């Protein structure tokens, strides 16, 4: 199932400081002062988001260009919602 209505955004690049550590991505979120530790596939998904916004369907297509994905974008939406819950992504329905 592909959700083409919801758009996902991330803050500007200078809102965060990133550092890779043993396969984990450390993200210091300047507006909140919170440090997030995210593991694959969240860093890969998160790195495709931008300030203009993107649907899950479009993101799924971008990811498919780089990875051998199976099924549909249902799991991707769950990961995007997880990023939104952390405050690393915003969504607009």
Binding site for other proteins (CB under 8 A): 17, 19, 21-24, 26, 28, 30, 33, 35, 37
Report the nearest approach of other proteins to the CB of residue 52 (Å): 26
Do the beta carbons of residue 1 and residue 72 sit within 8 Å?
yes
**Alpha helices for the chain (secondary structure H):** 42-48, 56-66, 74-86
Of 1 and 39, which CB lies nearer to other proteins in the complex structure?
Answer: 39
Of 18 and 57, which CB lies nearer to other proteins in the complex structure?
Answer: 18
Report the nearest approach of other proteins to the CB of residue 17 (Å): 6
Element (H, E) at 74: helix 74-86
Of 56 and 88, which CB lies nearer to other proteins in the complex structure?
Answer: 88
Do the beta carbons of residue 82 and residue 42 sit within 8 Å?
yes
């Amino acid at each position: 199932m592909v959700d083409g209505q919801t758009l996902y955004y991330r803050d500007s690049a200078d809102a965060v400081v990133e550092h890779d550590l043993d396969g984990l991505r450390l993200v210091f979120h300047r507006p909140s002062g919170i440090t997030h530790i995210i593991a694959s596939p969240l860093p890969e998904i998160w790195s495709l988001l931008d300030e203009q916004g993107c649907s899950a369907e479009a993101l799924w297509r971008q990811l498919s260009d780089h990875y051998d994905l199976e099924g549909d974008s249902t799991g991707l939406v769950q990961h995007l919602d997880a990023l939104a819950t952390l405050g690393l992504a915003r969504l607009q329905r």
